[in-house]
């Protein structure tokens, strides 16, 4: 055993008293486990040994990847929920503890998703029991997709870069700490005034991050800051907060934007139905060159295995769609297409490939 095992011997709800029942360094046998199950309701690992526990979990060959992911994800949710707790004062220490705890989760997640396609990650997310805490659950999913896509985009990526991509995904909505939960958790269409407030969260997040500077070896904090600040910038320069264009947007922010978009419309929540993977990718393709990076999106789709993309090609997400918000109904609308474009689309799409409006316009111009 790489860590100690404890039980809570207290009978009080508030006061806890942990007693060690098995020491690290000794061999835990099957009979020991059976006896613990019969005698104790719950076993605990100390916070100081949490990293050892997650590390041993991620390399355990007897557990399914879905089960590993569930435990790691729940561990990260614990830290994110503390960070977004309105009753707690936001401090440098709180941010440090959150990043430190989430880093351990991300480090463990790297083991689990290494070499996996986007579709493998999607299946794991789909198999997990979901939470209704949209900001936490969604942010962790975005981190997982971001790591998988970053590895696809950069095959020689270092472990530190992958962890940075994951932490950027986890913290991309940090600025929502400064926005009312009534707005954040509203699944209905927002008023223009409320959406203007939502659009301030990248700047709020950057301010919080810069004002509470922390040091931690092996993490590129300047990149995480840019992910927080730029993940709503659109590839065509129509995004916010600064209308940054194309590759001037940090690569990891562009990756986070795709992960953010995809999870928002494909992951089941209690308050909305979702699009199939085919329909989601087809609809996202109509945002290629507009909201999202064409080259990165191509990499993303090629990592979703065994799909013929013949979904809702002439539908798109409305311009005011915010993937960071819960939605009662995914705001899909039909794309107006001219007769000439329609004929061109039918010709190009006869083998089931997806062509975005940008592709059609380019072809027409040629």
- Domain check: are 39 and 66 in the same one? no
Asked whether residue 66 is domain-assigned, the answer is yes
- Domain check: are 33 and 107 in the same one? no
- Domain check: are 244 and 266 in the same one? yes
pTM listed for this prediction: 0.78
Q: What is the pLDDT of residue 271?
A: 53
- Domain check: are 33 and 167 in the same one? no
- Domain check: are 34 and 174 in the same one? no
* Domain CATH code at residue 56: 1.10.3210.10
Asked whether residue 290 is domain-assigned, the answer is yes
pLDDT, tens digit, 9 for 90 and up, residues 133-152: 667 888 999 999 999 999 99
pLDDT, tens digit, 9 for 90 and up, residues 190-203: 888 998 999 999 99
**How far apart, in whole angstroms, are the C-alpha atoms of residue 45 and residue 5?**
5
pLDDT, tens digit, 9 for 90 and up, residues 169-184: 999 999 999 998 888 8
Asked whether residue 364 is domain-assigned, the answer is no
Asked whether residue 310 is domain-assigned, the answer is yes
Asked whether residue 345 is domain-assigned, the answer is no
- Domain check: are 124 and 217 in the same one? yes
SS3 340: helix
Last residue of a domain, one of 29, 45, 61: 45
pLDDT > 80? residue 334: no
Q: What is the mean pLDDT of residues 222-240?
A: 96
Asked whether residue 135 is domain-assigned, the answer is yes
Decide which of 324 and 97 is more confident. 97
Overall domain count for the chain: 2
- Domain check: are 20 and 114 in the same one? no
Q: In this prediction, what percent of the chain has a pLDDT beyond 70?
A: 80
pLDDT > 60? residue 234: yes
DSSP secondary structure, 299-312, as one string: HHHHTS-S----S-
- Domain check: are 25 and 76 in the same one? no
Query: Which residue segment(s) compose the domain that 41 sits in?
Result: 1-45
Match 């191509």 to its residue by tokens: 298
- Domain check: are 39 and 123 in the same one? no
- Domain check: are 118 and 179 in the same one? yes
- Domain check: are 61 and 169 in the same one? yes
For 363, residues 6+ apart whose C-beta sits below 8 A from its C-beta are 344, 348, 355
pLDDT > 90? residue 25: yes
- Domain check: are 121 and 15 in the same one? no
Question: Which of 264, 245, 244 lies closest to 256, judged by CA?
Answer: 264
């Amino acid at each position: 055993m790489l860590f100690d095992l404890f039980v809570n011997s207290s009978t009080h709800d508030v006061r806890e008293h942990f007693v060690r029942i098995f020491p690290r360094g000794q061999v835990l046998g099957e009979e020991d486990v059976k006896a613990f199950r019969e005698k104790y309701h719950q076993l605990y690992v100390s916070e100081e040994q949490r990293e050892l526990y997650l590390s041993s979990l991620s390399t355990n060959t007897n557990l399914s990847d879905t089960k590993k992911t569930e435990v790691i994800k729940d561990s990260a949710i614990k830290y994110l929920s503390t960070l977004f707790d309105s009753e707690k004062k936001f401090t440098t220490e709180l941010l440090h503890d959150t990043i430190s705890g989430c880093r351990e989760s991300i480090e463990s997640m790297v083991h689990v998703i290494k070499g996996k396609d986007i579709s493998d990650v999607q299946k794991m997310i789909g198999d997990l029991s979901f939470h209704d805490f949209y900001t936490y659950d969604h942010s962790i999913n975005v981190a997982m997709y971001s790591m998988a896509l970053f590895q696809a985009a950069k095959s020689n990526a270092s472990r530190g870069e992958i962890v940075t991509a994951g932490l950027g995904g986890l913290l991309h909505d940090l600025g929502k700490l400064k926005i009312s939960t009534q707005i954040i958790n509203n699944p209905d269409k927002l008023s223009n005034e409320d959406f203007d407030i939502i659009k301030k969260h990248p700047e709020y997040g950057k301010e919080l991050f810069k004002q509470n500077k922390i040091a931690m070896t092996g993490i590129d904090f300047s990149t995480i800051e840019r992910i927080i600040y730029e993940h709503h910038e659109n590839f065509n320069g129509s995004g916010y907060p600064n209308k940054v264009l194309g590759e001037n947007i940090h690569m990891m922010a562009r990756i986070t934007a795709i992960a953010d978009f995809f999870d928002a419309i494909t992951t089941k929540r209690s308050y909305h139905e979702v699009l199939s993977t085919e329909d989601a990718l087809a609809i996202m393709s109509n945002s290629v060159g507009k909201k999202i990076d064409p080259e990165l999106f191509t990499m993303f789709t090629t990592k979703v295995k065994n799909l013929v993309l013949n979904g809702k090609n002439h539908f798109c997400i409305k311009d005011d769609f915010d993937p960071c918000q819960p939605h009662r109904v995914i705001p899909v609308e039909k794309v107006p297409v001219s007769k000439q474009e329609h004929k061109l689309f039918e010709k190009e799409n006869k083998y089931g490939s997806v062509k975005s409006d940008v592709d059609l316009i380019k072809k027409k111009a040629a």
